[in-house]
Amino acid sequence: MTPEEKLNQLLEDYGRGGKAKLAKFLGVSPVYVTRWVTDEKYSIPRDMIVKIEKFFKLSDGYFLSDENKTKIRVIPLIGLASCGTPQEYDLNGYDIVPISEEIYSDGMYAVKAEGNSMSPKINNNAIVYCDINRQINNGNIVHYSLNGSSGLKKYKINEKGDTISLIPINSDFDVITVYANDNVDLRMARVVGVVDTDF
What pTM does this model have?
0.65
What dotted CATH number matches 73-195? 2.10.109.10
Q: What pLDDT does 24 receive?
A: 92
Q: Where are the domains of the chain?
A: 3-69, 73-195
Tell me, rounded to whole angstroms, the distance of Cα 100 from its chain centroid.
11
State the Cα torsion 78-83-88-94 to the nearest 10°: -20
Count of helices and strands (H, E) across the chain? 4, 10
The whole-angstrom distance between residue 41's C-alpha and the CA centroid of its chain comes to 35
**pLDDT on residue 66:** 59
Distances, alpha carbon 47 to alpha carbons 19, 26, 52, 56, 196, in Å? 18, 10, 9, 16, 22
Per-residue model confidence (pLDDT) at position 69? 52
**Local confidence pLDDT in tens for the 199 residues of the chain:** 788 888 888 888 887 788 899 999 999 998 989 988 888 778 888 878 888 888 888 777 777 765 445 567 788 888 899 998 777 877 776 688 888 777 888 889 999 999 999 999 999 999 999 999 999 999 999 999 988 889 999 999 998 888 999 999 998 999 999 998 888 888 999 999 998 876 5
* pLDDT at position 71: 67
- What's residue 137's pLDDT? 95
Strands 72-83 and 163-167: unpaired
pLDDT of residue 196: 82
Res 93: pLDDT: 66
**CATH, range 3-69:** 1.10.260.40
Cα(156)–Cα(166) distance, rounded to whole angstroms?
A: 7
**Residue 168 class from Cβ within 10 Å (0-12 exposed, 13-18 middle, 19+ buried)?**
buried
Provide DSSP, 111-145: EEEEESTTTTTS-TT-EEEEETTS---TT-EEEEE
**The pLDDT of residue 199:** 52
Q: What is the dihedral of CA 49, 52, 56, 57, to 10 degrees?
A: 60
Q: Report the run of H or E that residue 157 belongs to, with start and end.
A: strand 149-157
b/e per residue 50-86 (b: at least 16 CB within 10 A):
eebbebbbbeeebbeeeeeeeebbbbbbbbbbbbbeb
- CA 3 to centroid of chain Cα atoms: 23
